[in-house]
């Protein structure tokens, strides 16, 4: 299952807010959380639930068009060559 880039994962210790979702066992998938106000557990442990928060459409588009070097490439990744003048 691919990650939906309209959401971001909550980090450990973030406060769970109204509108956040929690990943539950199959066949249910993502559901609205009932733990509003509590701290999100570490998503790195398989025994912990993973929480996510919807992000703005502009932010989601910026993530999709960002190249691995962290630059806004507008969806195009240009090759990077080392200068031979060094």
Q: State pLDDT tens for residues 51-66.
A: 999 987 655 455 555 5
Q: Report cis status (omega within 30 of 0) of the bond before 27.
A: yes
What is the pLDDT confidence band of residue 46, given thresholds at 50, 70 and 90?
confident
Q: Provide the token pair at 21.
A: 């979702």
The maximal CA–CA distance of the chain, rounded, in angstroms, is: 59
Q: Report the predicted TM-score, pTM, of the whole model to 2 decimal places.
A: 0.60
What is the pLDDT confidence band of residue 35, given thresholds at 50, 70 and 90?
very high
What is the pLDDT confidence band of residue 38, given thresholds at 50, 70 and 90?
very high
- Average the pLDDT over 6-27 and give the result: 91
Give the chain as a DSSP string.
----TTEEEPPTTPBP-TT-EEEETTTTEEEE-S-TTSBPPPTTSTTS--EEEE--HHHHHHHHTB-TTS-B-TT--------TT-
Domain range list for the chain: 7-64
- The pLDDT of residue 77 is 47
Contact in structure between 33 and 22 (CB atoms under 8 Å): yes
């Amino acid at each position: 299952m691919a990650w939906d880039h309209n959401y971001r994962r909550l980090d450990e210790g973030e406060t769970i807010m109204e509108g956040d979702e929690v990943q539950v066992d199959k066949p249910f998938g993502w559901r609205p959380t009932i733990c509003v106000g509590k701290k999100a557990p570490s998503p790195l442990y398989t025994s912990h639930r993973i929480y996510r928060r919807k992000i703005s459409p502009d932010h989601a588009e910026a993530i999709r068009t960002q190249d691995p070097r962290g630059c806004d490439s507008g969806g195009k990744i240009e090759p990077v060559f080392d200068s031979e003048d060094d």
